[in-house]
Chains A and B, each alone.
Chain A
């Protein structure tokens, strides 16, 4: 059976199409796609879903269940169900890392810490959804101010061993502060390291707000997980080794949504009257 998960975030929309194993075999990601978010979540969903379908050489009718997640999840017209990104990230991460108990999701415009149990079920969470400081948007703004790119920021941060102190709590004021630091001749690597330390401090504070505090294993999802500078700073502040996910961490939300889609579909199949139960196709094994 083939299911899809669509994650419409504040900065990017993601889609994962999964061939879900019903009884035997492994689940298989058939395709994934990512696009920048448009003004209307429905538009983003259509675009990213279409891209994923094309890559998998499928048409929409072959997708048996779709779960939407993310900020724009309630506006995906063709989704069968919507589930919060908190649950989806937790579930997706736990699928690949069964021992994970703390999932840190640093997204475009919010950051969260998710506590899951041994079956990936959501147990508690804490989020910073009031302020863009410490999120992907924060790094985007700073990359522009520093005339660098998001991809370059991570490796640059690792070059510094004297991080600049960024004192401003707010993204807007932090940008002003960064510009002052540039004018004072502070090396770019030191400034970027200071920014990653600032994000890491916020994350640590969120981790401490979740019931039980830090529990290993820890992993990180969302686009900012691809910034090695941020990941290293978080590891240092938490004094843990962050477990790496085997797929693009930015896709974990959409992937988690496919797992929920699989679950819902299995439930439907189980509850269907005998004459309506679909026959298993040979490739489901």
Chain B
């Protein structure tokens, strides 16, 4: 009799919710009934495949490589390894319920300082509770912050496994440089290329350049679709619901380089294009409401209350047209040669949301904000500052002030923990948001 498959409670909690929601959505208003697919379950299906892929990888004896959200998964797929995105696991667990809270507490009880970001503590606590699969190795980029860097070292120490850190360079401000200078890309390209010999040496993985190229071609299609979606969201009214930024970002972070990711993003893009053509919006079609406010959420969403976006739409006609993680700057990669692919991937990592804004002086974050506020014709900005994010709190007031001074766009700034709902309640946050829309704007 074969050995029973080992299950991981942390992972299974997310899978249970995702699979159930995917099942529910797929039975709702099918194409046969309405002539058009009203609800798309593809995003949930991508997630389900990605999450269940962990068990498939273990059954097939594949190497499991943990990586942080500031690296796209294509390079891990290229090595035919399973990509375990640490933050995706932590974030998704906080989206689906409160099971992550015990992991945070366990991590803090065992020495992780409460002041640090909770995004990594979930996984660390799950390791301590023996409720998540250990990876075989870790590859991460040294961005966006010290907290991530330190906590990955903690995970490395706990598992005693090989770790590869891509050194992301800091640079000084140059308004003409478009985020990096002539030294950055060649340096970082070598950092990215270094993953291959490291993986081959430590795990016996076989790098296949042809496979890598195929993956990058798929990745390009997905990223092109994402760029088109971002352009279409500049239309008034916004052609997609606020939650789109979350779903596009999570799709790319977990599944870029797969056909499913391409299919989902292209469907989303086509849906948006159709809405723009018909000059309508999900707000009008689903809730018969007009768009009142265009919001840019200039930080990460509150993951444990992700439906706040939806509430803002229904209650105030406030559509979040873009947020920090959704505005993906990464361009399609030149696949004409292997060197070009690595260079393109290096640029993708340098341009990755949050990483790009966080690894230089505040002017880059500010320039990015000014750009999206103008591009998306925002009426207002919301900055729900994550409490554990020290370095972004260092610029929060500056961003708010400069945004108002230069564009007249007001920002609602408040503290919240985007992973742990116990710090600031949903009620408190929604009270502030309500006041902002009802009394300030």
CB neighbours (8 Å) of B397 from chain A are 208-209
* A124 / chain B contacts, CB cutoff of 8 Å: 404, 410, 440
Do A211 and B415 touch (CB < 8 A)?
Answer: no
* B161 within 8 A of partner (CB): no
Is the contact region of chain A dominated by helix, strand, or loop, or is it mixed?
mixed
Within 8 A of B (CB), among A67-94: 83-84, 86-87
**Residue of B397, B415, B424, B438 with most chain A CB atoms under a 10 A cut-off:** B397
Residue of A122, A129, A211, A212 touching B439 (CB-CB under 8 A): A122
Q: Which residue on chain A has the smallest CB distance to residue B424?
A: A130
Residues from chain B with Cβ under 8 Å of A209 in the complex? 397, 413
Judged by a CB distance under 8 angstroms, whether A123 is at the interface is yes
Collect the chain A residues with CB atoms within 8 Å of residue B424's CB.
130
Cβ–Cβ < 8 Å partners of A125 in chain B: 440
Q: How far apart sit A208 and B401, CA to CA, in the bound complex (Å)?
A: 10
**Roughly how many angstroms separate A212 CA and B413 CA in the complex, as a whole number?**
14
Interface mask (B419-437 → A, CB under 8 Å = 1, otherwise 0): 0000010001000000100
The reply to whether B410 and A84 contact each other, CB–CB distance below 8 Å, is no
B386 on the A face (CB < 8 A): no
Do the beta carbons of B410 and A86 come within 8 Å of each other? no
Complex: how many Å from CA A125 to CA B415? 14
> Known contacts A129-B428, A211-B400, A211-B401; is A87 also within 8 Å of B439 by CB?
yes
Q: How many of chain B's residues have a CB under 8 angstroms from any CB in A? A: 14
**Digit string of A119-135 for contact with B (CB within 8 Å is 1, else 0)?**
00011111001100000
Asked whether, in the complex, the Cβ of B415 is within 8 Å of the Cβ of A122, the reply is no
The minimal Cβ–Cβ distance linking B149 to chain A, given in whole angstroms, is: 28
Closest to A208 in B: B397
Q: Which residues of A contact B410 (CB under 8 A)?
A: 123-124, 211
Least Cβ–Cβ distance between A209 and chain B, in angstroms = 6
Residues of A with C-beta under 8 A to B428: 129
CB-CB contacts of B56-92 with A at 8 A, as 1s and 0s?
Answer: 0000000000000000000000000000000000000
B interface: dominant SS:
helix
- How far, in Å, is A129 (CB) from chain B's closest CB? 7
A21 to B413, CA, bound (A): 38
Collect the chain B residues with CB atoms within 8 Å of residue A208's CB: 397
Max count, chain A CB within 10 A of own CB: residue among B400, B415, B438, B439: B439
Interface string of B391-419 (1 = CB under 8 A from A): 00000010011001000001101010000
Nearest chain B CB to A79 CB, angstrom units: 15
Closest Cβ of chain A to B367, distance in Å, is 19
| CB proximity of A218 to chain B, nearest CB, Å | 19
**Residues of B352-407 contacting chain A, CB below 8 A:** 397, 400-401, 404
Across the two chains, which residue of chain B brings its CB closest to A87? B439
How far apart are B90's CB and chain A's nearest CB, in angstroms?
Answer: 24
Contacts of A129 in B (CB 8 A): 428
* Chain B: minimal CB distance from A108 (Å): 17
Q: A129-B428, A130-B415 are in contact. Are A83 and B439 (CB under 8 A)?
A: yes
> CB-nearest residue of chain A relative to B403?
A211
Across-interface contacts of A126 in B (CB, < 8 A): 413
Other-chain residue from A86, A123, A211 in contact with B435 (beta carbon distance below 8 A):
A86
Residues of A within 8 A of B440 (CB): 122-125
Residues of B within 8 A of A212 (CB): 401, 404
Taking CB atoms, residues of chain B closer than 8 Å to A122 are 439-440
Output the least CB separation between A114 and chain B (Å).
10
- In angstroms, Cα B414 to Cα A86, docked, is 15
0/1 string, A210-224, CB within 8 A of B gives 1: 011000000000000
Q: Which A residue's beta carbon lies closest to that of B441?
A: A122
Residue of A whose beta carbon sits closest to that of B411: A211
User: Within 8 Å CB of B439, what residues of A?
Assistant: 83-84, 86-87, 122
The residue of chain B having its C-beta at the shortest distance from the C-beta of A84 within the complex is B435
CA distance A83 to B438 in the complex (A): 9
- The distance from the CB of B123 to the nearest CB of chain A, in whole angstroms, is 28
Task: With CB as the reference atom, state the residue of chain B lying closest to A74.
Answer: B431
Q: Which chain B positions have C-beta within 8 A of A123?
A: 410, 440
Give chain A nearest CB distance to B381 CB in angstroms: 12
Considering only residues 92-140 of chain A, those with a C-beta below 8 Å from chain B are: 122-126, 129-130
Min Cβ gap A285→B in Å is: 32
The smallest C-beta distance from B387 to any residue of chain A, in angstroms, reads 10
Give chain A residues whose Cβ lies under 8 Å from the Cβ of B435: 84, 86-87
CA distance A208 to B398 in the complex (A): 11
Q: How far is the CB of A202 from chain B (nearest CB, A)?
A: 15
Q: How far is the CB of A90 from chain B (nearest CB, A)?
A: 9
- Which of A84, A87, A123, A209 has the most chain B CB atoms closer than 10 A to its own CB? A84
Q: Among B401, B424, B438, which residue has the most Cβ atoms of chain A within 10 A?
A: B401
Q: In the complex, which residues of chain A have a beta carbon less than 8 angstroms from the beta carbon of B404? A: 124, 211-212
CB distance from B385 to the nearest CB of A (A): 12
Q: CA–CA, A237 to B415, complex, Å?
A: 25
Tell me the complex Cα distance, A124–B397, Å: 12
CB contacts under 8 Å to B, within A136-167, are: none
With a cutoff of 8 Å between Cβ atoms, the chain B residues found around residue A130 in the complex are 415, 424
Docked complex Cα distance between A86 and B438 (Å): 12
Instruction: Give CA–CA (A41, B97) in the complex, Å.
Output: 32
* Shortest distance from the beta carbon of B399 to any chain A beta carbon, whole Å: 11
Chain A residues whose CB sits within 8 angstroms of the CB of B415 once the complex forms: 130
A174 → B minimal CB distance (Å): 21
- Smallest CB gap from B400: residue in A: A211
- The CA of A86 and the CA of B432, in the complex, are separated in Å by 10
Which residues in A have some Cβ–Cβ distance to B below 8 Å? 83-84, 86-87, 122-126, 129-130, 208-209, 211-212
- Can you name 11 extra interface pairs (CB under 8 A) apart from A86-B435, A122-B440, A211-B404? A83-B439, A84-B438, A84-B439, A87-B435, A123-B410, A124-B440, A125-B440, A130-B424, A209-B397, A212-B401, A212-B404
13 sample A-B contacts, Cβ–Cβ < 8 Å, listed by A number: A86-B435, A87-B435, A123-B410, A124-B404, A124-B410, A124-B440, A126-B413, A129-B428, A208-B397, A209-B397, A211-B400, A211-B410, A212-B401
Query: What 10 A-B pairs come out closest when comparing CB atoms?
Result: A87-B439, A84-B435, A211-B404, A122-B440, A122-B439, A209-B397, A211-B401, A84-B439, A86-B435, A211-B400
